[in-house]
Structure 1
């Protein structure tokens, strides 16, 4: 039982073990929030403050201290969201009358340009991993802009090779023993059906044949879960192994530091936008919640696209002007 005299740590612990578990958040979000709550709210300068004495100034001090301790802006923003959820529940349950975080500005995350590769660099990267088991899922990520969890979470039931489409209906999360497929994609807009070309359809048909051969060799050790991309025993691929293969190839090619699987998504988005594709279309392909999300992340691509359009307009106008002067 908690009341206004209870320490924030006790109220947060109750929220973590009851309200959070009962919420409709994705399991990966629950795991993240639980970890951040244990480490940064149930422990620290806010932990022992009675709920009735908690003030906006306490929260601001907590934010400043986190920054001094080296907590990244994105992690601090998550911690703030967790604290706000804890206090929202406290208000709902009558423990306190108001949520003091509402009077504190949410920590900001500085906008950083997303690392992306030029199409020819992506082609080099794909060539470098072509002998790997991870080549085909990496290729699929590169040509569709799908998230790595979406690619590795694909089941054969999600693909229609006759129509040439792939349905994003879930995502693979975790790693090692915690690896699992969540039945829902990241957001409602993440659920989408994407067209794939004939070449990719042929490669997936070859993958089916290869997987059937692996199933035969594995006998009773085969794990029949229906995943498209698997180990030789039918288990889903650990994203860490695919990332390692990509990073090793990127390092050998001298590509920018930080090149990873998400770089392929950024590269696909950038290529689509700079080619003149409408931001709403790119947003739908990527599964963003709104076109503004796409524009905010890939502002550099929009700038390049605008330059290309204006350069073409300038060329057209001056060409007409030159013709009229003849």
Structure 2
């Protein structure tokens, strides 16, 4: 959801099915979940006036949401995403139990490989650049160890960054990117969520090629 729409963490966790239109493939951002000292509350409005917006949902995300709806019951107020007890998602727990282990399994954080029967190797690089490893009897233990001890790794918010950068790189006008990101100023979109893209120099040259 975050990778396909650029929604913030609180906008994703505060999302309800009533705000998703599966026919038009659009999500209405009208509320956010806010976590303070381990307690999650819902605010009936986004971060700013610009934050209240409609965002198109790409096909891949719409398909995954449909599968999610079939596999998992909605929360008590129609929440799309909940924990295993149908309660609100807490960011710190999600990061430790779901997000970082998923990075390990996807090959984006450290490495876990099978050495033999009941033997798994966990490998990672520490803050000093030293390669470290340890052996475990199950894959789950190896993944959990790397997720806990390996430094760095993709952040949840990086999905929002990638979303905006991808749109700009593919030629979507900045004012349109600003609107779906919920920014009040286009400069925020450009300064925070975009960077130099591959092939930039050649595209600039090509833009003037026809003027000769």
Per-residue deviation, 1:299: 5.4
- 1:178 and 2:178 equivalent? no
> CA separation in 1, counterparts of 2:41 and 2:80?
14
| Aligned length, in residue pairs | 169
Q: Deviation at 1:249? A: 3.8
More deviation, 252-261/158-167: 252-261
Match of 2:65 in 1: 204
Structure 1 match to 2:108: 253
For the pair 1:233 / 2:85, whether they are aligned, the reply is: yes
Structure 2: distance between partners of 1:208 and 1:144: 18
Asked if the contact 2:109/2:153 (under 8 Å) is kept, the reply is: no
Structure 2 equivalent of residue 195 of structure 1: 56
What TM-score comes out, normalization by structure 2 length? 0.68
Separation in structure 2 between the aligned mates of residue 179 and residue 197 of structure 1, nearest angstrom: 28
Equivalent position to 2:188, from 282, 288, 293: 293
Partner of 2:28: 167
Q: How far apart are 1:175 and its partner, in Å?
A: 5.7
- What TM-score do the two structures reach when normalised by structure 1? 0.46
Q: For structure 2, which runs of at least 5 residues remain unmatched after alignment? A: 111-150
The 1:225–1:249 alpha-carbon spacing in structure 2 relative to 1, beyond 3 Å, is same
Q: CA deviation at 1:188?
A: 0.5
State the 1:306 CA deviation. 5.4
Higher helix share: 1
- SS of the equivalent of 2:157 reads helix
| RCO comparison, higher one (Cα < 8 Å, 6+) | 2
Q: Aligned partners of 2:202 and 2:54: how far apart in 1?
A: 30
Task: State the alpha-carbon separation in 2 of the partners of residues 298 and 202 from structure 1.
Answer: 26
Distance 2:65 2:42 in 1: 21
Normalized per residue, which structure has more strand?
2
Q: 1:307 aligns with which of 201, 205, 211?
A: 201
Q: Give CA deviations for 1:75-114 in whole Å, capped at 9, x if unaligned.
A: xxxxxxxxxxxxxxxxxxxxxxxxxxxxxxxxxxxxxxxx
Larger radius of gyration: 1
